[in-house]
Amino acid sequence: MYTASDKRYDKMVYDRVGKSGLKLPAISLGLWQNFGYGSVFENCEKMCRTAFDLGITHFDLANNYGHPFNGSAEENFGRILDRGLRAYRDELCISTKAGYEMWDGPYGDRNGSRKYLIASLDQSLKRMGLEYVDIYYHHIYDPDTPLEETALALDQVTRQGKALYVGISNYNKAQTEQIMKIFKELKTPFIINQPSYSMLNRWVEDDGLDSFCADNGIGLAVFSPLYQGFLTDRYLKGILEDSRIGRGNTWIASQLTENMTAKLNALNDMAAERGQKLSQMAVAWLLHNKAVATVLVGASRPEQIEDNVRAVENLSFSDEELERIEKILGKEN
């Protein structure tokens, strides 16, 4: 039976989510890839246990996560909870999402309807063996469903005790502002937005989403912080056969140009000067944005989680370092 490390809270940093009372670890574990039935269960379990032993209390899932079929990541996580982690339920923040295609027919396709969202959460709770999740997200904005309907469905699950907080994912600034107004009227505990964000993907800044959320007490839980592996040391010398790009498992292979490789090497040199790996600096840079409450990292083995957590050992950046990063990325004024 699993017993958690008694040093699990020694080094991790915890920040409040916007203006809420909830704190999340600077690094959270996302179970999007490598946690379904197509993965080795023992490795999945070891990654979750390693994460918790390092102070990662937040585990982020979605109804459609898992390979080869939707929901298998939640089912595996339920098994992991049963094999020792469930004893620490009150130390965990477990989130799940719904919004993308999940089951056959008009009620399980990509949408934000009341029927889909409430039914999906019931399914997720059953798969994980939980009475409630800590955060329930609408996974993707649905232009075909009135925002009032989506907001009321999310509000209902908190009033039923099936979720403690609600959030949204992949919503831009304008969409976030619209649904926030409804949540305020309902007094729904809406605290978080989950967008993609990295050094190489700055859309939340260009859109103004990060500033808006910071100004309105909404936290950001950002995903894809390493931009499909670009912001690691795997592509500094080109494409490796056993890399995600080499295996054809990513859609951004065409972006790995000579210019991009030069940028990555320049960033890597800077990270080395800071005593970090490129991936660690990339995570630390995200946390420098005051709107960011937590960075969601994925992993295929426990050692990657250990590497990412070391980012919290150096989270500070001088003005000169920030300017240097912008110059490397070509974002300087």
Count Cα neighbours of 123 within 13 Å in the Cβ-side half-sphere.
19
Whether omega before 225 lies within 30 degrees of 0, making that bond cis, reads no
Average pLDDT along the chain: 95
Residue 243 main-chain phi, psi, to 5 deg: -85, 170
Instruction: Output the pLDDT for position 247.
Output: 53
Element at 28 (helix H, strand E): strand 27-30
Residue extents of the structural domains in the chain? 14-233+279-316
Q: What is the pLDDT of residues 285-328, one digit of tens each?
A: 999 999 999 999 999 999 999 999 999 999 999 999 999 999 99
Angle ∠(183,189,190) on CA atoms, nearest 5 = 60
Residues 254, 250: Cα–Cα separation, whole Å: 10
Q: Where are the alpha helices (DSSP H) in the chain?
A: 41-53, 72-82, 114-128, 147-159, 173-186, 203-207, 209-215, 258-273, 278-287, 302-309, 319-329
Structure confidence by residue, pLDDT tens digits, 168-222: 999 999 999 999 999 999 999 999 999 999 999 999 999 999 999 999 999 999 9
Crossing angle of helices 147-159 and 114-128, rounded to 10°: 40
What's the average model confidence in pLDDT over 96-106?
Answer: 96
Which one of 3.30.420.40, 1.20.1060.10, 3.40.50.2300, 3.20.20.100 gives the CATH number of domain 14-233+279-316? 3.20.20.100
Q: What is the pLDDT of residues 45-91, one digit of tens each?
A: 999 999 999 999 999 999 999 999 999 999 999 999 999 999 999 99
Nearest to 99 by CA among 86, 88, 113: 113
Q: Write the DSSP assignment of 92-114 as a string of letters.
A: -EEEEEE-S--SSSTTSSS---H
State whether the Cα torsion 128-25-54-38 is positive or negative: positive
Backbone angles phi, psi at 313, to 5 degrees: -70, -20
Cα torsion for 106, 110, 111, 114, to the nearest 10°?
60
